[in-house]
A and B are shown apart, each in its own frame.
Chain A
Amino acid sequence: GAVVSQHPSWVICKSGTSVKIECRSLDFQATTMFWYRQFPKQSLMLMATSNEGSKATYEQGVEKDKFLINHASLTLSTLTVTSAHPEDSSFYICSASGSGRLADTQYFGPGTRLTVL
């Protein structure tokens, strides 16, 4: 149990376009979802935390107008990278936690590799 999927697994886009990444909890209700980015051989950097039905809380230095997060349901959160540029190329990973015994653990999705040309 506690499976999180991400779509797409990789995407290549032109500079200036917007890209939407979906994160779904497949077999549990994700009350909280987290979005991270990870550069090669580096640690996870938390970008934002979102609770279902409310606005995401962004970490310091993360532009909320550039990285739009929507957590419209208990099983889906989306991250939209608007007007993407080459420096936005990275590995984006979401994680989700639920309630009860699922509250203390973050279950990670497989990640989305974004390459901006």
Chain B
Amino acid sequence: GQQVMQIPQYQHVQEGEDFTTYCNSSTTLSNIQWYKQRPGGHPVFLIQLVKSGEVKKQKRLTFQFGEAKKNSSLHITATQTTDVGTYFCAGRGRGADGLTFGKGTHLIIQP
């Protein structure tokens, strides 16, 4: 079945440093979504990427979808303490109803 791998599992950064998490799928995706889960909270939708090579920005967050639609990345510029949490990518295969989630990247920020 479809597998979605996400790295790194944990990332410690100093406040103000940049952060990137990477997501790779074993199969071509119809779209990929990114979610953020704060400690003790539930996942919150951030964005969906659909087109090959697509790049979207939300303030300090930049999302990319690979040309082959099998990989994606989330980059945060100049991290802040409010960015703490786990970032999940979730890929939807062709014709699939549900999303396959990556294991998530836990972002820990040291002030």
Give the tally of cross-chain contacts (CB within 8 A).
45
Complex CA gap A109/B43 in Å reads 8
B101 touches A43 (CB 8 A): yes
Contact partners of A44 in chain B: CB under 8 A: 43, 88, 101
Q: Which among A41, A44, A109 has the greatest number of chain B C-beta atoms within 10 A?
A: A44
Q: Measuring CB to CB, which residues of chain A are less than 8 angstroms from any residue of chain B? A: 32, 34, 41-46, 49, 57, 59-60, 93, 95, 104-111
| Chain B interface residue number, banded | 20 to 34
Whether B100 pairs with A46 at a CB distance below 8 angstroms is yes
Assembly CA distance A75 to B81 (angstroms): 36
B1 neighbours in A (Cβ, 8 Å): 60
Closest A residue, CB atoms, query B103: A43
Instruction: Output the residue of B33, B97, B98, B106 with the most chain A CB within 10 A.
Output: B98
Q: Given A32-B97, A43-B103, A44-B88, are A93 and B43 also a contact pair (CB < 8 Å)?
A: yes
Ordered by A's residue number, 19 sampled pairs between the chains whose C-beta atoms are within 8 Å are: A32-B97, A34-B98, A34-B99, A43-B101, A43-B102, A43-B104, A44-B101, A46-B99, A59-B98, A60-B1, A93-B42, A93-B43, A104-B48, A105-B33, A105-B48, A107-B45, A108-B35, A108-B42, A110-B42
